[in-house]
């Protein structure tokens, strides 16, 4: 109860700050909000003597961004996550929130050094030759540039007592050192408790909002931030992405320095590249911008569909280009995963739209169980056609895969499709990636860039070789079942014998009921056993042919 009161107090404080920035009920919609809300907003905007003035001017999204910055890290992350949910905040607000920058004032370099020494067990001067002031500061962590100092390996110690030799493997050169903000975990936990309280109240009192699953939405925020606050997880994500994409053309991931990485400290190779949004510098380097735009789209789709593990924060600030045109991704705090079923669903959906086969797309939704079978497939296919045809009946520069996915998720609301968080994250990332590609080449054809990746996936997953592989796996699985069948029958016989030996006794009335049931079912039971036996024999015969 006391915790709920504290949550309400936190939410009231947040509401007041939003109101002071004129971001809770903006004056632009004065005529659309209730009179009571107007009075509450006016009262909340009154500045107390000890409070600093706030900038309540500019466009609504500018005011909202400033308010979220003032509220702190957890609200910045909340705003960024809301940008992925146009079904909650609307298309226009979601588009505006995507511009929300995750920037915070840096914390003192002395605190960063203290955190490094505490977490790594060695002083900064032992680990690094140089260590810069913060070069970037966000809501959860900040980044410093450093030059590594060679570290000795204990296993290289000599028997004569001489110091162990320094090893050179991944032990020299410039690195980026990311350090968590002091006390960030505790600050987030307090705000998340308030978010969960608000989400539970919304689900309890608002029937229409239950479909949006606000509690699950807050849980997504909690899960993602928990992962971001363990920098070993981010290091592992970079390592896994590098392993998955090691031979992808024109793309690479910086190397992690595991010796200087811990829960609160991440050390990774420093990359000197051209920011992908610096068009003039890219042109000066004589790089092929349309080719680079294609590579951005194809790299993302390969990660999502082929590997089921993708960089979910591929905005322009997290992409660099080396002089030879190699694309480099940085900042692996937000990653997405798709299981086999989700990958197949997304690939077949996109491919179906590409081929304008709306019945196939409808079948994919129904077969995945995303749309209840109480709805008609033909009606759903017709709704899909209403999405696809207007998009494809435009020039290349107007065709948007991200817009298609957004409209798809909006349309599925009519057909009671529950939101799939992993697909929403994919759609959000697609919006960002598509924007990066269009900035490089305003006439970029998203679908033509995606076609080779989609066709490759369809061939690998649904072609003859894939079917033979699946049949082989089924055969192995059936073989295991058949091999274990004699053992299973033997154990069943032993169990039945042991039950008889131990003299299990039944109530007379229970025995009579079981006997009558056995008499009625014995014939159908024997028939069922014969059907199973014949089916197994038929399957085995088909595999041998």
Catalytic residues: 313
**Burial (0-12, 13-18, 19+ Cβ within 10 Å), 99:** exposed
Asked if 83 contacts 428 with a C-beta cutoff of 8 angstroms, the reply is: yes
Among residues 59, 84, 74, the alpha carbon closest in space to that of 104 is found at 74
Which residues neighbour 438 within 8 Å (Cβ) at sequence distance 6 or greater?
293, 397, 444
Other beta carbons within 10 angstroms of residue 154's beta carbon come to 7
Contacts of 482 (CB under 8 A, 6+ apart): 536, 540
- Determine phi and psi for 533, rounding to 5 degrees: -60, -45
3-state secondary structure 101-166: CCCCCCCCHHHHHHHHHHHHCCCHHHHEEEECCCCEECCCEEEEEEEECCCECHHHCCCCCCCCCE
Q: Output the CA–CA distances (angstroms, integers) from residue 96 to 315, 404, 434, in the order listed.
A: 15, 19, 16
Q: Where are the beta strands (DSSP E) in 315-451?
A: 319-321, 327-329, 335-337
**Using an 8 Å Cβ cutoff, are 26 and 63 in contact?**
yes
The H or E element containing residue 227 is: helix 214-228
Cβ–Cβ < 8 Å for 478, 543: yes
Distance CA 65, CA 80 (A): 10
- Rg of the chain over all Cα atoms, to the nearest angstrom: 30
**What is the rounded distance in angstroms from the CA atom of residue 521 to the CA atom of residue 523?**
6
The torsion of the CA quartet 141, 142, 148, 149, rounded to 10 degrees, works out to -80
CA atoms within 13 A on the CB side of 185: 10
Nearest one of 102, 85, 106, 107 to 94, comparing CA atoms: 85
Rounded Cα distance, 515 and 205, in Å = 53
**DSSP labels, 65-86:** HHHHHHH-HHHHHHHHHHTT-H
CA distance 200 to 408: 28
- Distance (Å) of CA 153 to CA 121, 147, 148, 162, 163: 15, 19, 15, 13, 10
User: How far is 127 from 129, CA to CA, in rounded Å?
Assistant: 7
């Amino acid at each position: 109860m006391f915790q709920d009161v504290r949550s309400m107090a936190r939410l009231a404080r947040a509401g007041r700050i939003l109101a002071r920035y004129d971001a809770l009920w903006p004056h632009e919609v004065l005529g659309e909000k209730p009179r009571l809300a107007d009075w509450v907003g006016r009262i909340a905007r009154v500045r107390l003597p000890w409070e600093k003035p706030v900038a309540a001017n500019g466009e609504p999204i500018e005011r909202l961004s400033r308010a979220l910055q003032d509220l702190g890290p957890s609200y910045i992350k909340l705003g960024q996550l809301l940008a992925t949910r146009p079904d909650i905040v609307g298309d226009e607000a979601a588009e505006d929130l995507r511009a929300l920058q995750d920037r915070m004032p840096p914390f003192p370099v002395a605190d960063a050094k203290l955190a490094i020494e505490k977490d790594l067990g060695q002083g900064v001067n032992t680990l690094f030759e140089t260590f810069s002031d913060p070069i970037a500061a966000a809501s959860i962590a900040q980044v410093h540039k450093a030059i590594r100092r060679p570290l000795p390996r204990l296993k290289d110690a000599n028997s004569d007592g001489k110091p162990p030799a320094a090893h050179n493997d991944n032990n020299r050169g410039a690195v980026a050192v990311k350090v968590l903000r002091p006390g960030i975990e505790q600050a987030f936990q307090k705000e998340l408790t308030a978010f969960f309280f608000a989400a539970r109240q919304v689900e309890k009192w608002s029937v229409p909002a239950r479909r949006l699953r606000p509690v699950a939405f807050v849980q997504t925020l909690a899960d993602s931030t928990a992962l971001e606050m363990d920098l070993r997880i981010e290091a592992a994500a970079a390592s896994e992405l590098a392993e998955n994409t090691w031979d992808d053309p024109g793309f690479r991931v910086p190397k992690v320095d595991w010796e200087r990485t811990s829960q609160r400290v991440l050390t990774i190779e420093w990359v000197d590249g051209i920011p992908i949004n610096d068009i003039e510098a890219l042109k000066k380097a004589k790089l092929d911008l349309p080719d680079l735009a294609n590579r951005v789209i194809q790299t993302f789709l390969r990660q999502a569909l082929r590997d089921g593990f993708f960089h979910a924060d591929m905005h322009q600030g997290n992409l660099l280009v080396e002089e030879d045109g190699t694309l480099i991704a940085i900042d692996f705090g937000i990653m997405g995963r798709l299981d086999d079923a989700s990958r197949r669903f997304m690939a077949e959906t996109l491919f179906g739209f590409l081929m304008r086969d709306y019945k196939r797309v409808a079948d994919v939704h129904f077969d995945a169980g995303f749309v209840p079978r109480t709805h008609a497939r033909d009606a759903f296919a017709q709704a899909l056609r209403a999405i696809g045809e207007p998009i494809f009946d435009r020039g290349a520069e107007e065709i948007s895969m991200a817009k298609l996915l957004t409209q798809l998720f909006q349309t599925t609301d009519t057909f009671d499709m529950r939101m799939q968080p992993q697909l929403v994250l994919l759609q959000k990332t697609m919006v960002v990636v598509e924007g990066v590609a269009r900035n490089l080449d305003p006439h970029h054809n998203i679908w033509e860039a995606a076609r080779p990746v989609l066709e490759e996936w369809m061939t690998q997953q649904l072609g003859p070789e894939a079917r033979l592989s699946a049949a082989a796996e089924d055969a192995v699985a059936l073989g295991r079942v058949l091999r274990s069948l004699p053992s299973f029958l033997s154990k069943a016989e032993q169990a039945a014998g042991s039950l008889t030996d131990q003299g299990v006794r039944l109530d007379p009335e229970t025995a009579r009921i079981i006997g009558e049931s056995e008499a009625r079912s014995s014939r159908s039971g024997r028939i069922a056993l014969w059907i199973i036996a014949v089916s197994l024999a038929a399957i085995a015969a088909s595999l041998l042919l």
